[in-house]
Amino acid sequence: MHELTVTQTMLDIVLEQAQKAHARKVGAINLVIGELSGFVEDSVRFYFGFLAKDTIAEGAALNFKSVSPQARCRGCGNTFALKEFDWSCPRCGGGDVEITAGKELSIESIDVE
Amino acid sequence: MEVKVLKNILGANEQLAEKNRALLDENKVFAVNIMASPGAGKTSLILETIKRLKGKTRVGVIEGDVSSSVDAEAVSKEGVPVIQINTGGSCHLDANMVANALASLPLADIDLLFVENVGNLICPAGFALGEQRKVIISSIPEGDDKPLKYPVMFHEADVVVLNKTDLLPYVRFSLDAFSRALKGINEKLEIIAVSCTSGQGLDDWVSWLEKQMTAR
C-alpha cells in the first residue's frame, strides 16, 4: 500500500541523514517493516531502484527486518504472538488486546562511506 | 560506517495528527473519523445524525473524496459548516489534508466534527488524523466476513456501525458470524445495527455518540 510515496519519503530521510553525516555514498539501508504495516518488500525494492537513480543512494542494498505481530492482553498483561483471525489472549481468553509490535515502518540505520 | 537513523517513516504524519488533536481539544471539538467501504453509508449516517442533533449539538463536517463535492453539497443543505477535501487520487485522508480543512472551519462554533474518510477499508488505518474516535461502518450487502479480511482496520475502531439492516431479508448475512469475527479481533467492540433508510437503531447510535462526548 502506497509503496511509491513511502519509498520516496524513506529515500528523503536517508539522503538527509547521509548529508548530515557528510557521506558520499550510501551502501545499505536497514529497514524495519512490521507484518501488519501493509507494506510489501518487493514493491519497496522496485520503487527504490527507480527513485534512487542519480542520488548517492543509487545501488544501496535494502535490508529488511520483518517484525511479526505481537500483542499484550489488557486483562491479564500476558504478551503473545497474534494468530490469524483469533486475537484473544491464549492465557486468559480475554479479547481486549493492544498491538505492541507488527505495525512498524522505520529506518533503523544506514551504512555510508 | 553505520549511521543510526531510528526514524518512523510515517512520523511526519503522526506529528501533524498530534497537532490537529491539540487544536481540536483546545477548541473543545469532538472529532470522529468515519471509515468504510464506498457506499456503506458514511454520508447517510452523518446526514441522519445531523437531523437528530439539530438544536442540541453543533455539528461540523470534513468530507473526503477523490473527487466531486456531492457529499459536501448534501451536508451543506442541512445547514452545517462543511469542507470538501478532494484528494485528487489519494485513497485516504492524511493529517496534512485535515489540518488544512481545520484551518477553514469555525472551530469555536462546533461541538462535534465528523471527518468522513475516503471510501476504503485498508489505507485509512495507517494514517492518523488527530480524531478522538474512530467509527467503522460495515454494511449488510458487503457480507459478514469483513472483520476477517481487514483485521487491523477493525481492531482500531471504537465502535462498528452495521448499516442497511433493512436489507437482511434479501442478502446472505449472518449476524452471528459477523459478531464472532469481530469479537475475535476486539472483544470490546460494540456493534450498533442501524438502517439509515428505515431509521432503525439510529437513536442507539446517537446515544453512543452523546455518551462518548460526555465521557471524555
In angstroms, the CA B84 to CA B1 distance is: 48
Q: Given an 8 Å threshold on Cβ–Cβ distance, is A85 in contact with B8?
A: no
From chain A, the residues in CB contact with B1 under 8 A are 21, 23, 111-113
Q: Are residues A73 and A91 in contact, defined by beta-carbon separation less than 8 angstroms?
A: yes
Q: Does B123 touch chain A (CB under 8 A)?
A: yes
Closest by CA to A105, choosing from A21, A15, A7, A4, is A7
Strands A105-112, A26-34: pairing kind: antiparallel
Q: Where are the domains of chain A?
A: 3-17+26-112
Residue B2 belongs to a domain: no
Which CATH number characterizes residue B134's domain? Answer: 3.40.50.300
Q: Classify each residue of B66-87 as buried b or exposed e, where b means 16 or more C-beta atoms within 10 Å of its C-beta.
A: eeeeebbebbeeeebbbbbbbe
From chain A, the residues in CB contact with B152 under 8 A are 36, 38, 103
pLDDT above 70 for B124: yes
In what order do the strands lie in the sheet containing B191-193?
Answer: B82-86, B59-65, B112-116, B30-36, B133-139, B159-163, B191-193
Across the A/B interface, how many CB contacts are shorter than 8 Å?
A: 85
Q: Are residues B173 and B146 in contact, defined by beta-carbon separation less than 8 angstroms?
A: no
Mean pLDDT, all residues of chain A = 93
pLDDT at A1: 61
User: Which CATH architecture does the domain made up of A3-17+26-112 adopt?
Assistant: 2-Layer Sandwich (3.30)
Of A1, A10, A87, the CB nearest to B126: A1
pLDDT at B15: 95
Residue B107 belongs to a domain: yes
pLDDT at A38: 83
pLDDT above 90 for A83: no
Q: Given an 8 Å threshold on Cβ–Cβ distance, is B6 in contact with A107?
A: yes
ipTM of the complex: 0.84
Q: Which three cell numbers stand for residue B23?
A: 487544536
Q: Where does chain B show beta strands of DSSP type E?
A: 2-8, 30-36, 59-65, 82-86, 112-116, 133-139, 159-163, 191-193
Q: Could you read off the pLDDT of A90-106 as tens digits, one per residue?
A: 999 988 999 999 999 99
Q: For chain B, how many structural domains are there in total?
A: 1
In angstroms, the CA A31 to CA A110 distance is: 9
Residue B198 belongs to a domain: yes
| For range A12-32, the mean pLDDT | 96
| For range B144-173, the mean pLDDT | 96
Q: Does B191 touch chain A (CB under 8 A)?
A: no
Residue B4 belongs to a domain: no
Q: Which domain holds residue B47?
A: 11-215
Q: Given an 8 Å threshold on Cβ–Cβ distance, is B1 in contact with A111?
A: yes
What is the chain A residue with the closest CA to B123? A1
In angstroms, the CA B94 to CA B124 distance is: 8
Which pTM value belongs to this model? 0.90
How far does chain A reach from its first CA to its final CA, in angstroms?
Answer: 32
